Amino acid sequence: MLIVGELINTSRRKVEAAVRDRDADFIGELAERQVAAGADYVDVNCGTLVGEEVEALPWLVKTVQARVDVPLCIDSANPEAIEAALRVHRGQAMVNSITAEGDRFESFLPLLQEHGASVIALCMDDQGIPETSEQRFEVALRLVEDLRAAGLKPEQIYIDPLIRPISTGSQFGVTALETIQRVKQHLNGVHTICGLSNISFGLPKRRVLNMTFLALCLSAGLDAAIMDPTETVNMAILRAAEALLGRDEYCRNYLEAYRQGKLSI
């Protein structure tokens, strides 16, 4: 499974200060720690810096890529900021995120085409986030059809079912898991991705829910997770689930993680 490290986000107070001060050491170190822990992509988000994203986001891209060799997940709702960031990004970036909302889809599409980026596509449209997994799958299907018609390959598309907290609806875990299963069953080659931590919002002992949800998502067929890779318990669960689901021949990755001391809980 691909891991997108989520820590470089200005909704975190220290990160916001570091981006405001253009503190390259702080940001670079946060990128390095995530990659050392197992991140395949590093997410960069400075959405709280309203009006400054167009300058700050490309600075983040350059600063992170000066320190680590992985591609970035460029995370913004602002197409101008995305464009500025894609221009300075080396390699194939992932754009976080497109939706089936008319305006957003139209403004992001040319950027994906021009830069050959992968994209996270959220299961929501102008009517909002659909209630059921059937309806979310319909939005996913529409997104995939439209993105493919625009020239993207299935492998470039990461469908995000969107996670709503189970504290606000007992079925929201199942809705997300079923959407992942449907996409994997019916949309050949298309990937699935989600952020883990929103599921536990409003409940105590969120770590227990997040790690358990990771195992359940893997079982449903999740291909990529946006998460904190430095949270060792999540990485331990991830390696264990891959071994248990027959996706780790001879338990090689599990045993390698053990030797590296990465199976602590």
Q: Which of 5, 130, 161, 173 binds its own copies (CB under 8 A)?
A: 173
Residue/partner pairs of 142-151 with CB below 8 Å, 24 or more apart: 142/100, 143/98, 143/99, 143/100, 143/105, 144/187, 144/190, 146/100, 146/105, 147/98, 147/109, 147/112, 147/119, 147/121, 150/109, 150/112, 150/113, 151/113
Residues in CB range of 125: below 8 A, 6 or more apart:
99, 100, 101, 139, 142
Give, in degrees to the nearest 5, the angle at Cα 114 between 113 and 116.
65
Size of the site for its own copies (CB under 8 A): 40
**Given the complex with its own copies, which of 82 and 241 has the nearer CB atom?**
241
Q: How far apart are the C-alpha atoms of 33 and 43, rounded to whole Å? A: 13
What separation, in Å, do the N-terminal and C-terminal C-alpha atoms of the chain show? 20
- Using the contact rule CB under 8 A, the part of the chain among 1-9, 138-146, 147-155, 235-243 near its own copies is 235-243
CB of 128 to its own copies, least distance (A): 21
DSSP state, 69?
Answer: -
Q: Which of 50, 128, 149, 170 binds its own copies (CB under 8 A)?
A: 170
**Joined tokens for residue 26:** 């702080």
- Using the contact rule CB under 8 A, the part of the chain among 9-17, 106-114, 198-206, 221-229 near its own copies is 198-206
Query: Is residue 183 a contact point for its own copies (CB under 8 A)?
Result: no
CB of 262 to its own copies, least distance (A): 10
Query: Is residue 180 a contact point for its own copies (CB under 8 A)?
Result: no
**Given the complex with its own copies, which of 2 and 255 has the nearer CB atom?**
255
Binding residues (CB under 8 A) for its own copies: these are 166-167, 170-171, 173-174, 177, 199, 203-205, 207-209, 211-213, 215-216, 219-220, 233, 236-237, 239-241, 243-246, 248-251, 254-255, 258, 263, 265
